[in-house]
Chains A and B, each alone.
Chain A
Protein backbone atom coordinates (compact mmCIF):
# COMPACT_ATOMS: atom_id res chain seq x y z
CA UNK A 1 0.00 0.00 0.00
CA UNK A 2 1.30 3.48 -0.76
CA UNK A 3 2.23 5.67 2.16
CA UNK A 4 0.71 8.96 0.94
CA UNK A 5 -0.19 11.17 3.91
CA UNK A 6 0.14 14.36 1.84
CA UNK A 7 -2.21 13.02 -0.83
CA UNK A 8 0.08 14.06 -3.68
CA UNK A 9 -0.11 10.64 -5.33
CA UNK A 10 -3.91 10.55 -5.57
CA UNK A 11 -5.08 10.09 -9.14
CA UNK A 12 -1.64 9.44 -10.61
CA UNK A 13 -1.62 6.94 -13.49
CA UNK A 14 0.60 3.92 -13.52
CA UNK A 15 4.22 5.01 -13.72
CA UNK A 16 6.83 3.84 -16.17
CA UNK A 17 10.43 3.18 -15.16
CA UNK A 18 12.68 5.66 -16.96
CA UNK A 19 16.44 5.57 -17.48
CA UNK A 20 18.38 7.80 -15.08
CA UNK A 21 20.87 10.17 -16.69
CA UNK A 22 24.28 10.81 -15.19
CA UNK A 23 26.69 13.76 -15.10
CA UNK A 24 28.03 15.35 -17.24
CA UNK A 25 24.70 15.24 -19.08
CA UNK A 26 23.88 18.95 -19.57
CA UNK A 27 20.25 18.46 -18.49
CA UNK A 28 21.53 18.08 -14.93
CA UNK A 29 23.15 21.51 -15.04
CA UNK A 30 20.14 23.37 -16.43
CA UNK A 31 17.52 25.01 -14.21
CA UNK A 32 14.22 23.25 -14.79
CA UNK A 33 11.15 25.15 -15.98
CA UNK A 34 8.14 25.74 -13.75
CA UNK A 35 5.27 23.43 -14.67
CA UNK A 36 1.50 23.41 -14.79
CA UNK A 37 0.75 20.68 -12.24
CA UNK A 38 -2.48 19.82 -14.08
CA UNK A 39 -0.73 19.17 -17.39
CA UNK A 40 -1.31 15.46 -18.19
CA UNK A 41 2.33 15.11 -19.23
CA UNK A 42 3.42 16.38 -15.80
CA UNK A 43 1.00 14.03 -14.05
CA UNK A 44 2.48 11.12 -16.00
CA UNK A 45 5.99 12.34 -15.25
CA UNK A 46 5.14 12.44 -11.53
CA UNK A 47 4.02 8.80 -11.71
CA UNK A 48 7.12 7.86 -13.70
CA UNK A 49 9.42 9.46 -11.14
CA UNK A 50 7.82 7.48 -8.33
CA UNK A 51 7.99 4.25 -10.35
CA UNK A 52 11.65 4.83 -11.18
CA UNK A 53 12.49 5.68 -7.56
CA UNK A 54 10.74 2.50 -6.42
CA UNK A 55 12.84 0.19 -8.57
CA UNK A 56 16.14 1.89 -7.74
CA UNK A 57 17.74 0.29 -4.69
CA UNK A 58 18.35 2.74 -1.85
CA UNK A 59 16.83 5.61 -3.82
CA UNK A 60 15.04 8.10 -1.55
CA UNK A 61 14.29 10.78 -4.11
CA UNK A 62 14.35 11.52 -7.80
CA UNK A 63 14.01 14.78 -9.71
CA UNK A 64 12.78 15.26 -13.28
CA UNK A 65 16.18 16.40 -14.64
CA UNK A 66 17.55 13.02 -13.52
CA UNK A 67 15.29 11.34 -16.07
CA UNK A 68 16.23 13.91 -18.68
CA UNK A 69 13.27 16.27 -18.29
CA UNK A 70 14.22 19.84 -17.40
CA UNK A 71 11.27 20.78 -15.18
CA UNK A 72 10.63 21.42 -11.49
CA UNK A 73 9.09 18.13 -10.38
CA UNK A 74 10.51 15.59 -7.93
CA UNK A 75 9.51 12.77 -5.65
CA UNK A 76 10.84 11.81 -2.21
CA UNK A 77 10.40 8.87 0.13
CA UNK A 78 12.72 8.62 3.12
CA UNK A 79 10.34 6.56 5.27
CA UNK A 80 12.67 3.55 5.49
CA UNK A 81 15.93 5.44 6.00
CA UNK A 82 17.59 5.08 9.40
CA UNK A 83 18.52 8.78 9.61
CA UNK A 84 14.93 9.90 9.12
CA UNK A 85 13.10 11.63 11.96
CA UNK A 86 10.08 13.49 10.61
CA UNK A 87 8.78 12.03 7.35
CA UNK A 88 5.84 12.46 5.01
CA UNK A 89 5.79 9.11 3.23
CA UNK A 90 5.99 9.13 -0.54
CA UNK A 91 5.21 12.43 -2.21
CA UNK A 92 5.66 14.38 -5.42
CA UNK A 93 6.02 18.15 -5.55
CA UNK A 94 5.86 20.55 -8.47
CA UNK A 95 7.48 23.99 -8.45
CA UNK A 96 8.79 23.52 -4.91
CA UNK A 97 10.74 26.20 -3.12
CA UNK A 98 12.47 26.29 0.24
CA UNK A 99 10.71 28.90 2.36
CA UNK A 100 12.95 28.70 5.37
CA UNK A 101 16.05 26.77 6.28
CA UNK A 102 17.96 26.69 9.54
CA UNK A 103 20.53 24.71 11.52
CA UNK A 104 23.12 23.64 8.97
CA UNK A 105 24.87 20.34 9.29
CA UNK A 106 27.51 18.73 7.09
CA UNK A 107 27.03 15.17 5.80
CA UNK A 108 28.29 13.03 2.95
CA UNK A 109 25.89 12.57 0.05
CA UNK A 110 25.74 10.35 -2.98
CA UNK A 111 23.49 10.63 -6.01
CA UNK A 112 22.31 8.22 -8.71
CA UNK A 113 23.26 10.82 -11.30
CA UNK A 114 26.83 11.10 -9.95
CA UNK A 115 27.58 7.44 -9.37
CA UNK A 116 31.36 7.63 -8.97
CA UNK A 117 31.62 10.29 -6.27
CA UNK A 118 30.30 11.27 -2.88
CA UNK A 119 30.54 14.73 -1.41
CA UNK A 120 30.44 16.52 1.92
CA UNK A 121 27.61 19.04 1.77
CA UNK A 122 26.32 21.42 4.39
CA UNK A 123 22.52 21.62 4.42
CA UNK A 124 19.83 22.90 6.74
CA UNK A 125 18.38 20.30 9.10
CA UNK A 126 15.11 22.18 9.60
CA UNK A 127 13.22 23.46 6.60
CA UNK A 128 9.85 24.54 5.34
CA UNK A 129 9.11 23.73 1.70
CA UNK A 130 6.14 24.84 -0.34
CA UNK A 131 5.05 23.26 -3.61
CA UNK A 132 2.09 21.93 -5.54
CA UNK A 133 0.62 18.47 -5.93
CA UNK A 134 0.58 17.04 -9.45
CA UNK A 135 -2.89 16.83 -10.94
CA UNK A 136 -4.84 19.02 -8.54
CA UNK A 137 -2.21 21.70 -8.18
CA UNK A 138 -3.12 21.86 -4.49
CA UNK A 139 -0.68 23.83 -2.35
CA UNK A 140 1.48 21.57 -0.19
CA UNK A 141 3.50 22.85 2.74
CA UNK A 142 6.04 20.54 4.34
CA UNK A 143 7.80 21.32 7.60
CA UNK A 144 10.48 18.74 8.24
CA UNK A 145 13.91 17.99 9.59
CA UNK A 146 16.91 15.67 9.51
CA UNK A 147 17.16 13.34 6.52
CA UNK A 148 13.92 14.34 4.85
CA UNK A 149 15.10 17.96 4.95
CA UNK A 150 18.37 16.97 3.29
CA UNK A 151 16.59 14.91 0.63
CA UNK A 152 14.21 17.78 -0.17
CA UNK A 153 17.05 20.25 -0.56
CA UNK A 154 18.97 17.78 -2.76
CA UNK A 155 15.96 17.29 -5.05
CA UNK A 156 15.07 20.99 -5.20
CA UNK A 157 18.71 21.60 -6.15
CA UNK A 158 18.31 19.14 -9.04
CA UNK A 159 15.29 21.11 -10.23
CA UNK A 160 17.45 24.25 -10.13
CA UNK A 161 20.22 22.58 -12.14
CA UNK A 162 22.50 22.02 -9.16
CA UNK A 163 24.28 18.86 -8.10
CA UNK A 164 25.89 18.15 -4.74
CA UNK A 165 29.15 18.81 -6.59
CA UNK A 166 28.08 22.46 -6.74
CA UNK A 167 27.80 22.60 -2.95
CA UNK A 168 30.97 20.80 -1.89
CA UNK A 169 32.02 21.95 1.56
CA UNK A 170 35.65 22.61 0.67
CA UNK A 171 38.37 21.74 -1.83
CA UNK A 172 38.79 18.25 -0.39
CA UNK A 173 35.08 17.50 0.03
CA UNK A 174 34.52 15.34 -3.06
CA UNK A 175 35.50 11.72 -2.68
CA UNK A 176 35.77 8.80 -5.07
CA UNK A 177 33.01 6.35 -4.29
CA UNK A 178 34.20 2.98 -3.17
CA UNK A 179 34.20 0.54 -6.08
CA UNK A 180 32.67 -2.77 -5.20
CA UNK A 181 34.60 -5.50 -6.96
Chain B
Protein backbone atom coordinates (compact mmCIF):
# COMPACT_ATOMS: atom_id res chain seq x y z
CA UNK B 1 0.00 0.00 0.00
CA UNK B 2 1.41 3.40 -0.94
CA UNK B 3 2.60 6.04 1.50
CA UNK B 4 1.19 9.44 0.66
CA UNK B 5 2.51 12.85 1.67
CA UNK B 6 -0.37 15.25 2.18
CA UNK B 7 0.19 18.98 2.71
CA UNK B 8 -2.46 21.52 3.56
CA UNK B 9 -1.53 25.20 3.54
CA UNK B 10 -3.45 28.42 3.76
CA UNK B 11 -5.80 30.64 5.74
CA UNK B 12 -6.35 29.31 9.25
CA UNK B 13 -9.81 28.68 10.65
CA UNK B 14 -11.32 26.18 13.10
CA UNK B 15 -12.08 22.75 11.65
CA UNK B 16 -9.38 22.29 9.01
CA UNK B 17 -7.78 19.34 10.80
CA UNK B 18 -11.11 17.70 11.54
CA UNK B 19 -12.17 18.00 7.89
CA UNK B 20 -8.85 16.82 6.50
CA UNK B 21 -8.47 13.84 8.79
CA UNK B 22 -12.15 12.98 8.47
CA UNK B 23 -11.75 12.68 4.70
CA UNK B 24 -8.60 10.59 5.12
CA UNK B 25 -10.28 8.30 7.63
CA UNK B 26 -13.22 7.95 5.26
CA UNK B 27 -10.84 6.49 2.70
CA UNK B 28 -9.46 4.05 5.26
CA UNK B 29 -6.12 5.86 5.45
CA UNK B 30 -3.98 5.74 8.55
CA UNK B 31 -2.16 8.92 9.57
CA UNK B 32 1.36 7.85 10.45
CA UNK B 33 3.56 10.87 11.18
CA UNK B 34 2.16 14.38 10.98
CA UNK B 35 2.96 17.89 12.08
CA UNK B 36 1.00 21.10 12.02
CA UNK B 37 1.72 24.63 13.07
CA UNK B 38 0.87 28.21 12.23
CA UNK B 39 3.49 30.01 10.17
CA UNK B 40 2.93 33.77 10.33
CA UNK B 41 -0.71 32.92 10.99
CA UNK B 42 -1.02 30.57 8.03
CA UNK B 43 -2.19 27.02 8.63
CA UNK B 44 0.55 24.55 7.65
CA UNK B 45 0.13 20.80 7.99
CA UNK B 46 2.00 17.84 6.59
CA UNK B 47 0.98 14.22 7.02
CA UNK B 48 2.30 10.89 5.89
CA UNK B 49 -0.51 8.43 5.43
CA UNK B 50 -0.62 4.75 4.65
CA UNK B 51 -3.59 2.89 3.29
CA UNK B 52 -5.62 1.73 0.37
CA UNK B 53 -6.00 4.92 -1.68
CA UNK B 54 -3.93 6.59 -4.36
CA UNK B 55 -2.96 10.25 -4.57
CA UNK B 56 -5.68 11.20 -7.06
CA UNK B 57 -8.40 9.67 -4.89
CA UNK B 58 -7.15 11.52 -1.82
CA UNK B 59 -6.93 14.83 -3.69
CA UNK B 60 -10.50 14.37 -4.82
CA UNK B 61 -11.63 13.59 -1.27
CA UNK B 62 -9.95 16.77 -0.04
CA UNK B 63 -11.31 18.95 -2.84
CA UNK B 64 -13.83 20.55 -0.49
CA UNK B 65 -11.01 22.16 1.45
CA UNK B 66 -9.76 24.04 -1.58
CA UNK B 67 -13.10 25.06 -3.10
CA UNK B 68 -13.12 28.61 -1.70
CA UNK B 69 -9.48 29.20 -2.57
CA UNK B 70 -8.34 29.75 1.02
CA UNK B 71 -6.39 26.47 1.29
CA UNK B 72 -4.15 24.56 -1.04
CA UNK B 73 -3.71 20.82 -0.82
CA UNK B 74 -1.14 18.58 -2.39
CA UNK B 75 -0.94 14.80 -2.28
CA UNK B 76 1.85 12.70 -3.66
CA UNK B 77 3.15 9.22 -3.24
CA UNK B 78 6.42 8.89 -1.32
CA UNK B 79 8.71 5.92 -0.71
CA UNK B 80 9.27 4.45 2.74
CA UNK B 81 12.38 5.88 4.39
CA UNK B 82 14.79 4.28 6.82
CA UNK B 83 15.34 5.60 10.34
CA UNK B 84 17.77 8.32 11.32
CA UNK B 85 21.38 7.11 11.18
CA UNK B 86 23.56 6.98 14.27
CA UNK B 87 25.21 10.17 15.43
CA UNK B 88 24.98 12.78 18.15
CA UNK B 89 22.13 15.23 18.40
CA UNK B 90 22.74 18.91 19.09
CA UNK B 91 20.50 21.91 19.50
CA UNK B 92 21.48 24.86 17.35
CA UNK B 93 20.05 28.10 18.68
CA UNK B 94 20.33 31.45 16.95
CA UNK B 95 18.87 34.84 17.77
CA UNK B 96 19.47 38.34 16.60
CA UNK B 97 18.36 41.12 14.32
CA UNK B 98 16.45 40.00 11.27
CA UNK B 99 18.28 40.03 7.95
CA UNK B 100 18.36 37.80 4.88
CA UNK B 101 20.70 34.81 4.93
CA UNK B 102 20.69 33.74 8.59
CA UNK B 103 19.22 30.30 7.99
CA UNK B 104 21.11 29.59 4.78
CA UNK B 105 24.47 30.67 6.19
CA UNK B 106 24.24 28.67 9.40
CA UNK B 107 22.61 25.65 7.76
CA UNK B 108 25.44 25.81 5.25
CA UNK B 109 28.01 25.46 8.03
CA UNK B 110 26.13 22.42 9.37
CA UNK B 111 25.94 20.87 5.90
CA UNK B 112 29.68 21.36 5.35
CA UNK B 113 30.45 18.85 8.10
CA UNK B 114 27.77 16.41 6.98
CA UNK B 115 25.36 17.44 9.74
CA UNK B 116 21.70 16.73 9.15
CA UNK B 117 19.01 19.08 10.43
CA UNK B 118 16.14 16.92 11.70
CA UNK B 119 13.90 19.61 13.14
CA UNK B 120 13.83 23.33 12.44
CA UNK B 121 11.74 26.24 13.61
CA UNK B 122 12.30 29.88 12.84
CA UNK B 123 10.23 32.74 14.15
CA UNK B 124 10.25 36.45 13.45
CA UNK B 125 8.78 38.90 15.95
CA UNK B 126 9.40 42.56 15.24
CA UNK B 127 13.07 42.77 14.39
CA UNK B 128 14.04 39.72 16.45
CA UNK B 129 14.78 36.56 14.51
CA UNK B 130 14.96 33.25 16.39
CA UNK B 131 16.06 29.88 15.01
CA UNK B 132 16.03 26.52 16.80
CA UNK B 133 17.26 23.41 15.03
CA UNK B 134 18.01 19.87 16.05
CA UNK B 135 21.09 18.67 14.26
CA UNK B 136 22.46 15.15 13.92
CA UNK B 137 26.22 15.28 13.58
CA UNK B 138 28.33 12.35 12.40
CA UNK B 139 30.27 10.71 15.23
CA UNK B 140 33.58 11.96 13.84
CA UNK B 141 32.54 15.63 13.79
CA UNK B 142 34.99 18.09 15.33
CA UNK B 143 32.32 19.85 17.39
CA UNK B 144 34.57 22.65 18.74
CA UNK B 145 35.64 23.43 15.17
CA UNK B 146 32.03 23.49 14.01
CA UNK B 147 31.10 25.73 16.93
CA UNK B 148 33.89 28.12 15.94
CA UNK B 149 32.74 28.11 12.33
CA UNK B 150 29.16 28.80 13.40
CA UNK B 151 30.30 31.64 15.66
CA UNK B 152 32.34 33.18 12.88
CA UNK B 153 29.40 32.93 10.49
CA UNK B 154 27.01 34.31 13.11
CA UNK B 155 29.43 37.15 13.83
CA UNK B 156 29.32 38.13 10.19
CA UNK B 157 25.52 38.22 10.37
CA UNK B 158 25.40 40.05 13.69
CA UNK B 159 23.51 37.25 15.46
CA UNK B 160 24.22 35.03 18.45
CA UNK B 161 24.62 31.27 18.07
CA UNK B 162 25.02 28.30 20.39
CA UNK B 163 25.42 24.59 19.70
CA UNK B 164 24.71 22.37 22.68
CA UNK B 165 24.40 18.60 23.03
CA UNK B 166 20.81 17.48 23.25
CA UNK B 167 20.70 14.50 25.54
CA UNK B 168 17.87 12.28 26.55
CA UNK B 169 18.08 10.25 29.71
CA UNK B 170 16.56 6.80 29.95
CA UNK B 171 14.59 6.35 33.13
Q: Please determine whether A111 and B83 come into contact, CB atoms closer than 8 angstroms.
A: no
Contact with A along B142-171 (1 / 0, CB 8 A): 000000000000000000000000111111
Q: Which of A60, A176, A178 contacts B171 (CB 8 A)?
A: A60
How many angstroms from the CA of A150 to the CA of B85 in the assembled complex? 29
Query: Between A and B, how many residue pairs show CB distances below 8 Å?
Result: 57
Q: Please determine whether A109 and B169 come into contact, CB atoms closer than 8 angstroms.
A: yes
Q: Which of B35, B87, B169 contacts A108 (CB 8 A)?
A: B169
B82 proximal to A (CB < 8 A)? yes
**Residues in A neighbouring B136, C-beta threshold 8 A:** 178
Q: Please determine whether A58 and B170 come into contact, CB atoms closer than 8 angstroms.
A: yes
Q: Please determine whether A181 and B171 come into contact, CB atoms closer than 8 angstroms.
A: no
A147 proximal to B (CB < 8 A)? yes
Q: Please determine whether A83 and B86 come into contact, CB atoms closer than 8 angstroms.
A: no
How many angstroms from the CA of A143 to the CA of B167 in the assembled complex? 25
**Residues in A neighbouring B170, C-beta threshold 8 A:** 58-60, 109-112
Q: Please determine whether A180 and B86 come into contact, CB atoms closer than 8 angstroms.
A: yes
Contact with B along A50-85 (1 / 0, CB 8 A): 000000001111000000000000000000010100
B20 proximal to A (CB < 8 A)? no
Q: Of residues 51 to 104 in B, which have CB atoms within 8 Å of A's CB atoms?
A: 82-87, 89
